Amino acid sequence: MSTAVVILPTGTYRANDFIEAARSLGINLIIASEERHALLSDDSFIPIDCADPYRSADAIVSAGDHHPIDAVIPVDDAGVMIAAIASEHLGLAHNPPAAVAATRNKAILRRLLKEREVPQPAFELAVPTSDTVALSEIVGTPVVLKPLSLSASRGVIRVDHPLLVPPVAERIRQILAVAGQNPNEPILIERYIPGSEIAVEGLLVNGELRILAFFDKPEPMEGPYFAETMLVTPSRLYPEILDEVEAVTVRAVRALGLREGPIHAELRVDGNRVVVIEVAARSIGGLCGRSLHFGLLGTTLENLLLRHALGMRMNTSRESIASGVLMLPVPSAGTLREVNGLEAATAVPFITEVAITIPPGTYVVPLPDGARYLGFLFARAETPLEVEKSLTAARKELEIVITTD
């Protein structure tokens, strides 16, 4: 029986999906996480600290001394470095750790893309002593300010005038401090790119990128904050634009040195111009993977990732039906009391699932200060437009109750 280690940071939504996928494949699954999952025995758990990738990788490698490990799979951003380091020591197919590190640091990512002339926004880096007004004028407003070490759009803010940049930069440093990161790290100042945004879900196999899905984002992402909401596939962009999106994504992953495993990229399409916004060495986040199924049997994304990592046969062709997911951002800070209208939302035509992932009684914070979503709505239909309309209608049925007392 093959053994796969899946790195699941505390707070991830995907533990159950990977456990179910492993059971369906007859795979021995070991979870590496800060906390043991309730459905797993002690023998199926490796305690790690995602903030210490080298020590965590050593823990996984040491576990391999007692039982051969055939694959190490990261789920979220926090686990990608651990997986790369552990896989390198275990002699498994992997991304070079330096390439993965580049995806975790926006400054390194921007520099590598610039060296290889991959289309991306103009950018500058601001340290605490920098003249951020001058830097934003060099880049050209409007600009988007980003912390280097955070993910999921946390701390990402659009600014339309140079004189407004300094207070926003200071706000981002406060967000970094709250998140336990260095508040004095450089901040990326990059040119805001107008147009539509598209997400690319892909799988690298021996350096070759296989496109799993192109996701449109039907709802505008214009700022000042950039919470993702709706993702719908297949894309409705013209085929020649999608060809360019794929070509630019290939150039980006090669510039970064990525070679094996899932990638998730975000790009902007401004007329005929396609530019790279982000590249991650992991699959799509949250529960969004539930919107994807492959082959005639409807293989899940988690099943596909396990098959790839273990060298098993796989069909990377997405099902012919349209599908999508709508993420529910936190609307305001306070204590989540309840989410009403779940039955009505579930009853909307083409809705397949409504999943609220934050329990009542939890204190929640919206973007850009927070980093969590309240839940996910899923839909499948014959056309992308039907999926979009279904998700929009289901969201209107929900009433989110948050109190500040």
CATH number for the domain that contains residue 402: 3.90.1170.30
Where is the domain boundary, 156, 176, 191? 191
| Structural domain count of the chain | 3
CA distance 186 to 205: 34
pLDDT in tens, 260-279: 999 999 999 999 999 999 99
Instruction: Tell me which amino acid residue 72 is.
Output: V
Instruction: Decide if 310 is inside a domain.
Output: no
Instruction: Decide if 90 is inside a domain.
Output: yes
Where is the domain boundary, 139, 160, 191? 191
Where is the domain boundary, 140, 170, 191? 191
Q: Is the pLDDT of residue 13 over 80?
A: no
The whole-model pTM stands at: 0.94
Angle (deg, nearest 10), helices 132-139 and 165-178: 110
* Pairing, β 45-47 against β 196-205: unpaired
Q: What average pLDDT does this structure show over 326-352?
A: 97
Six token digits for residue 58: 């050593």
Instruction: Decide if 212 is inside a domain.
Output: no
Residue 174, domain extent: 122-191
Which residue from 72, 21, 76, 20 is spatially nearest to 303, judged by alpha carbons? 21
CA distance 128 to 277: 24
292 CA to centre of own chain: 14
Provide the phi-psi class of 361: left if phi over 0, else alpha when psi is between -120 and 50, else beta: left
336 CA to centre of own chain: 24
14 and 96 inside one domain: yes
Lowest mean pLDDT among 20-29, 135-144, 240-249: 20-29
Q: Is the pLDDT of residue 39 over 70?
A: no
Q: Is the pLDDT of residue 374 over 80?
A: yes
pLDDT in tens, 184-232: 999 999 999 999 999 999 999 999 999 999 999 999 999 999 988 999 9
Output the domain CATH number for residue 127.
3.30.1490.20
Percent of the chain with pLDDT over 90: 87
95 and 129 inside one domain: no
Residue, of 75 and 145, whose pLDDT is higher: 145
Tell me how far CA of residue 280 lies from CA of 27, 92, 306, in angstroms: 26, 20, 18
CA distance 140 to 160: 10
Instruction: Decide if 392 is inside a domain.
Output: yes
20 and 91 inside one domain: yes
Ranges of H-type helices in 259-300: none
Q: Is the pLDDT of residue 36 over 80?
A: no
232 by DSSP, 3-state: which?
Answer: strand
Q: Is 126 within 8 Å of 107 (Cβ atoms)?
A: no
Output the domain CATH number for residue 15.
3.40.50.20
User: Which strand (E) or helix (H) includes residue 147?
Assistant: strand 143-147
What mean pLDDT is reported for the chain? 94
127 and 87 inside one domain: no
Instruction: Decide if 246 is inside a domain.
Output: no
Instruction: Decide if 149 is inside a domain.
Output: yes
Instruction: Decide if 44 is inside a domain.
Output: yes
127 and 68 inside one domain: no
Six token digits for residue 155: 């701390």
